[in-house]
Structure 1
Amino acid sequence: MTMENQDSSAESIPAPDEPSVPEIVEDETVPPRPEEDIADVLRAKPDTEDHAEHAD
């Protein structure tokens, strides 16, 4: 099997100066979707309500 035919998802071994987990770089050229902005607003206020089901 040649190198071209090997599975590209094969585990790679990082070099000594590379982190073991690659950093994820956020693409700042893509604007956030509207639902992301709404979720951020909803997460800004902690949910302290009792959501447990109570037997009445």
Structure 2
Amino acid sequence: MPPIEGFAVSDHNDHSSHEHIPGPGEATIPELEDDETIAPRPEEEIADALRAKPDLEDHSGHHSD
């Protein structure tokens, strides 16, 4: 199935960034994963903030039907 126009599709076989092997005395810096180079969407940040606060409400079957 061809990708839908307007959607970013990554090729997992693309190795354009080569793994860096640090030399003696050189600090080891972890490489970024492909998805870490894309900024989070605003709704992801909002969801993270909402998940940070525990939901202590009683959500058991009390429905007003």
Taking structure 1 as the reference length, the TM-score comes to 0.46
Q: Decide which structure has the larger Cα Rg and report it.
A: 1
Taking structure 2 as the reference length, the TM-score comes to 0.40
